[in-house]
Amino acid sequence: MKYYEKINRYLGKEMSEDEQKEFKEELYNNSDLKLEFLMQKSETLAIEKLAAKDLKNKVREFRNRNAQRRKKLLILFLLLVGLSTLIGALLIITGKPKAEIIESNTSDQNVINSDNSSETPISTDTIIDNQETLENTDEELNPENERKSPPDTQQTKDQPPSHQVVAMNTFLETERSINLKGDDTNTRDKSLSRAYTAYENKLWNNVIEFAEPFRNDSIWSLNALELIGKAAFQDFQFTKAADTFFELVNKEDLLYGDRWEWYLLLSYAAILNERKDDFDQLSNIILGDPDHSYFLKVDKLKNDLNFL
């Protein structure tokens, strides 16, 4: 491992900007360094994958313990509800006799009637005069006596299909939960900074423009493709988003493969009329793997779409 220390420092983000620049130049010109870099990066990803799998197992055990606790709490809750219902029934049975309740209601009604009878009755003439006054006032305020136009229905007609609304809302929920800054800051490259800045400012076309040159980059292609796919989705270019995420899924990345499958499924959901078969096939694959990171989200998405 001739270049081990140098590669390790680069992958660990321990180099200065000038050192990173020199390393990249050497990487493009030195085939031995490039080969060793790819091997070392693959080993690092494999180790991280194993760590992630171990974390999944621990999370699964934690969820199982929580499920047992929730079951016990539910039983306790049902017992408390049953007990409170029983106590309420006993209070009703041992409360006031029915005759006293009727007598009390009758006396209250008499008080109300006596109060109402003391008021001056409103005559029919008074009602007619008030109505004429209101009509005259309305004519003064609206000389042309214009009627309010019915609400514009064009907006309703132009609304996107309901499956696109579900897909977009689910996508935005995912983005909020991932938090782009916290998730990708440690893998940013200076050359992609313009694309990230455009993404944070929601300039979707600029994101695609700035990230496109790095689509086939040997180091930063995955970051660039994810930016392109997410920007295209939020710009309603769902077919482009689907094609981009499909390309990412085929990269078979060990760390982010589940997330890219989820984004691809959301892209299919947004164009469900055209890609229904693709949506069903991919969702069935994910739901066939209970360890998939987005297993529960896919199940909920399918249920939401079935209600449409």
Q: Do 195 and 293 fall within a single domain?
A: yes
Structure confidence at residue 69 (pLDDT): 80
Structure confidence at residue 146 (pLDDT): 45
Q: Do 220 and 96 fall within a single domain?
A: no
Per-residue pLDDT of the chain (308 residues; tens, 9 = 90+): 578 888 888 888 888 989 888 888 887 888 888 888 888 888 888 887 787 777 777 777 777 787 888 888 889 899 999 888 989 888 888 764 444 544 555 555 554 455 544 444 444 454 445 555 545 544 554 444 444 444 443 434 456 778 889 989 999 888 887 654 444 444 455 668 999 999 999 999 999 999 999 998 888 889 999 999 999 999 999 999 999 999 999 886 667 889 999 999 999 999 999 999 999 999 999 999 998 989 999 999 989 888 76
pTM score of the predicted model:
0.47
Domain coverage including residue 182: 159-306
Distances (CA, A) of 179 to 110, 139, 185: 65, 58, 10
Of the residues 44, 76, 106, which one is the last residue of a structural domain?
A: 106
CB 297, CB 170: distance < 8 Å: yes
Q: Label residues 148-166 b or e (16+ Cβ within 10 Å = b).
A: eeeeeeeeeeeeeeebbeb
Number of compact structural domains in the chain: 2
Side-chain-facing half-sphere of 192: CA atoms under 13 Å: 26
Q: Do 81 and 12 fall within a single domain?
A: yes
Structure confidence at residue 241 (pLDDT): 95
> Tokens at residue 302, please?
């399918």
Structure confidence at residue 147 (pLDDT): 46
Q: What is the CATH number of the domain that holds 180?
A: 1.25.40.10
Q: Is 128 within the bounds of a domain?
A: no
The set of residues, in sequence order, having a beta carbon less than 8 Å from that of 37 and lying 6+ positions away, is: 3, 7, 10, 27
Residue with tokens 């998730």: 183
Structure confidence at residue 65 (pLDDT): 80
Structure confidence at residue 184 (pLDDT): 45
53 CA to centre of own chain: 24
Structure confidence at residue 99 (pLDDT): 47
Q: Is 119 within the bounds of a domain?
A: no
> Tokens at residue 199, please?
């993404």
Q: Is 41 within the bounds of a domain?
A: yes
Q: Is 145 within the bounds of a domain?
A: no
